[in-house]
Amino acid sequence: METAKIRNFVFLSQSGAGKTSLAEAMLYLSGKTKKLGRVDDGSSILDFEPEEQNRKITISTACHHFPWKKHEVFFLDPPGDDNFNAEAKLAAWAADNALLVVEATDPVKVQMEKVFSFVKEFGLPCAAFVNKLDREYADFEKAVATLEERLGIRPVPVAYPIGKEEDLSGVVNLITMKAYTFEDGKPKSVDIPADIADRVEELRANLIEFAAESDDELLEKFLEEGELTEEEIVRGLKRGILEGRFVPVSCGSVAKLIGIQPLMDLIVDFLPSPLERGPRVGKNLKDEEETREPREDAPVSLIVFKTFMDPYAGRLSFCRVVSGSLPEEGVLFNPIRDTKEKYAHLAIPEGKEHKPCAKAIPGMICVIPKLSETKTGDTLCDPEAPVIFPMPTLPHAVLTYALHPKSRSDEEKIGAALSKLQEEDPSLVITRDEESREILLSGLGQIHIEATIEKLSRKYAVNVDLSLPKIPYRETIKKPKEGVIYRHKKQTGGRGQFAEVHFNIYPLPRGGGFEFVETLVGMNVPRNFVPAVEKGVRQALEKGPLAGFPVVDVKVQFYDGKSHEVDSSDMAFMIAASQCFKKGVQECQPILLEPIMELEIEVPEDVMGDVIGDINARRGKVLGMEPKGKIQVIKAHVPLAEVQRYALDLNAITGGRGTFRMKFSHYEEVPPQVAEKIISEVKSQEEAEKK
């Protein structure tokens, strides 16, 4: 195997377009697999995780390869569902090229727009395959036009379907002008049908123009002679694809095994090899630009785009070789972790299985087991020639749930299990709320969270219940109260307890926290008791009078008191201070505060009114709007209680076309009618717990 004969690409599509089925068909028709794997019946060798088979969707990126026309083609098959967009982005980061799998009857949903953004971000040369042309209402030319309109690309058909809908029988190769029908996946050469001959000629002329545009020499010849040779067409198209000028579009039906071999020809003949793609840009340890050429004689470098925790083999690091020749065993340097990693095995991933290999060269996808420190997004390289290829920014988590272990055993195992899941999926965010003591799991959507919980149970035997996280409400006061006096006196025989404190209590501005000042005059209270008084007040702050939430934004002035030379103690003053504060707060018009989140929402202009109306219905305040291309950016303040499941709601309002970021802004008073409901719910819950 040599780098010039390697192709690697990432499948990208919306969920349900037939991406994984197409990959299975390529493996089968290339002779790599003896049986055609199917997603529908659970026989797919790419969707092998139980969570994938149950849902019939890809959840984790699968890797495989197949031989074709004396080349070796490596592919990455990431999820199409945007609950798992982080997987797709990491796969696109690792690949040289992209293949868009387009559903003929519904070519561009929101998910397709999202994954295509990765093509643009990483500058990937791209081809497209219009699938499901055997379906009712399938229209190849309409699908091509939709790609141009919705994705902003210049699609160039390189194949044309023979027959429509259920009568689809083959394709015409617009480059060679040869037509093929397919039976059980086997191509048979036929004449171009008369009813499409004129359209085929038009599209071929269009193809030649695109090829000529990519090269001045070819353009000059085309203008003079009006024609290019097949070899010249290939040369012009290859250059245009490499430079991202246009996207070649093939077509067929995976279900009928029509058009798959011409697509594999397209991948080998037109998508660039690692050598043609050129060097990858990274940074050295001084944060200066550093490049690596995709040559075997260059210093070795790899990027880790996926981690899988195997119950038997341990941590498996899936890598794309950027440069150099990687031997079967050796030592690599991880500059991000500043550590050397020794490895003793090397393999090529083939779905669930891994085939041992003696070496890996640029462009190959490989698996290295049992690296102790390396994580997804890391770079591995020659210890003598360090380089870092920065990991892309992953989609941010938008939905959070609290996890409640069902048993003591689950509670003991959950921490380690979640850490392993996070290694496999770096888009998961796992935190512990110190106030509520809840474990919080944040992800990219409902399905993402559910699949994670299923995996937690299956792989690590940890079972949990889910709930929305507790809202961190606060309590404060609206008016001051001066001259609050409390005497603590207890006599039970022997030494008693005595302490009296006099407080003034004042509200502070929002965000003011807590302020304690001592303005004692004279010796009514020895100064050594002052710390105990402050400690008593701080203890009282922990549970407010309304619903037991922490009290904030108050100032306590300790201005006088009384003591007893025998019975006074730190404990007595702590109790007196705590009770005095509780007594005083009741007379200061206590109120409930709620966290207000700052939202930045990006939505298409046509749904902006619906989104703003929804914000208002959530007790939110729109701060402003500004255009960003065809998108409107809305900034708003909304109570956290109203947006805990906003990811799902925004999805419904915008048809999946809206995105948002959310961060804490400040606390505000809860409206009285809402506060009453919250207080009532808290008290009911406390009563239920007592029973």
Q: DSSP string covering 220-231, please?
A: HHHHHHS---HH
Could you say which DSSP state residue 54 is in? H
Grade residue 657 by pLDDT with cuts at 50, 70 and 90.
confident
Contacts by 467-470, CB closer than 8 A, 24 or more apart: 467/401, 467/402, 467/404, 468/401, 468/402, 468/644, 468/645, 469/400, 469/401, 469/402, 469/433, 469/436, 469/438, 469/440, 469/644, 470/402, 470/433, 470/436, 470/438
- Has residue 52 got a pLDDT over 80? no
Instruction: Determine the pLDDT at residue 685.
Output: 84
The enclosing H or E element of 365 equals: strand 365-369
- Has residue 50 got a pLDDT over 80? no
Could you say which DSSP state residue 630 is in? T
Could you say which DSSP state residue 304 is in? E
Q: Which tens digit of pLDDT belongs to each residue from 475-510?
A: 999 999 999 999 999 877 667 899 999 999 999 999
Please report, to the nearest 10 degrees, the dihedral formed by the alpha carbons of residues 682, 684, 687, 691 taken in order.
-120
Instruction: Determine the pLDDT at residue 691.
Output: 66
Q: Amino acid identity of 65?
A: H
Structural domains of the chain, with CATH = 3-273 (3.40.50.300), 280-381 (2.40.30.10), 399-467 (3.30.70.870), 474-588 (3.30.230.10), 592-674 (3.30.70.240)
Q: Amino acid identity of 612?
A: I
The tokens describing 78, both together, are 């990431």
The answer to whether 133 and 140 are in contact (CB under 8 A) is: yes
The tokens describing 112, both together, are 């397709």
Q: What is the mean pLDDT of the chain?
A: 92
Half-sphere exposure of 72 (CA within 13 A, CB side): 16
Instruction: Determine the pLDDT at residue 176.
Output: 92
Helix axes 216-225, 230-242, angle to 10 degrees: 140
Q: Which tens digit of pLDDT belongs to each residue from 251-304?
A: 999 999 999 999 999 999 999 999 999 999 999 999 999 999 999 999 999 999
Nearest to 544 by CA among 578, 573, 571, 499: 578
The answer to whether 360 and 294 are in contact (CB under 8 A) is: no
Instruction: Determine the pLDDT at residue 269.
Output: 94
User: Given the DSSP bridges, would you call strands 97-103 and 126-131 parallel, antiparallel or unpaired?
Assistant: parallel
Instruction: Determine the pLDDT at residue 202.
Output: 94
Instruction: Determine the pLDDT at residue 391.
Output: 95
Cβ burial of 565 (10 Å; 0-12, 13-18, 19+) is: exposed
Q: Amino acid identity of 645?
A: R
Sign of CA dihedral 184, 186, 192, 197: positive
The tokens describing 669, both together, are 């008073």
Could you say which DSSP state residue 522 is in? T
- Has residue 521 got a pLDDT over 90? no
Higher pLDDT, 144 or 435: 144
- Has residue 545 got a pLDDT over 90? yes
Instruction: Please tell me the distance from the alpha carbon of residue 101 to that of residue 19, in angstroms, as a whole number.
Output: 6
Q: Which tens digit of pLDDT belongs to each residue from 171-222?
A: 999 999 999 999 888 899 999 999 999 999 999 999 988 889 888 888 888 8
In this structure, the number of other CB atoms found within 10 A of the CB of residue 574 comes to: 23
Range in 79-88, 213-222, 425-434, 531-540 with the lowest mean pLDDT: 213-222
Mean pLDDT, rounded, for 76-98: 94
Higher pLDDT, 52 or 638: 638
Share of the chain above pLDDT 90, in %: 78
Q: Amino acid identity of 552?
A: V
Share of the chain above pLDDT 70, in %: 100
Instruction: Please tell me the distance from the alpha carbon of residue 370 to that of residue 286, in angstroms, as a whole number.
Output: 29
The answer to whether 48 and 54 are in contact (CB under 8 A) is: no
- Strand order from edge to edge, sheet including 178-183: 159-162, 170-173, 178-183, 186-190
Helix axes 446-460, 408-424, angle to 10 degrees: 120
Chain centroid to CA 186: how far? 40
Tally helices (H) and strands (E) across the chain. 17, 36
User: Given the DSSP bridges, would you call strands 280-283 and 289-292 parallel, antiparallel or unpaired?
Assistant: antiparallel
Residue 466 backbone zone (phi > 0: left; psi -120 to 50: alpha; other: beta): beta
Instruction: Please tell me the distance from the alpha carbon of residue 582 to that of residue 560, in angstroms, as a whole number.
Output: 17
- Has residue 86 got a pLDDT over 70? yes
The tokens describing 440, both together, are 């919080």
In this structure, the number of other CB atoms found within 10 A of the CB of residue 664 comes to: 11
In this structure, the number of other CB atoms found within 10 A of the CB of residue 643 comes to: 19
- Has residue 67 got a pLDDT over 80? yes
The answer to whether 232 and 240 are in contact (CB under 8 A) is: no
Instruction: Determine the pLDDT at residue 687.
Output: 81
C-alpha distance from residue 470 to each of 343, 403, 405, 632, 638 (Å): 45, 11, 16, 32, 17
Q: Which tens digit of pLDDT belongs to each residue from 296-355?
A: 999 999 999 999 998 888 899 999 999 999 999 999 999 999 999 999 999 999 988 999
Radius of gyration of the chain (CA): 33
Instruction: Please tell me the distance from the alpha carbon of residue 178 to that of residue 184, in angstroms, as a whole number.
Output: 19
Degrees to nearest 5, angle at CA 279 with 274 and 284: 135
User: Given the DSSP bridges, would you call strands 126-131 and 247-251 parallel, antiparallel or unpaired?
Assistant: parallel
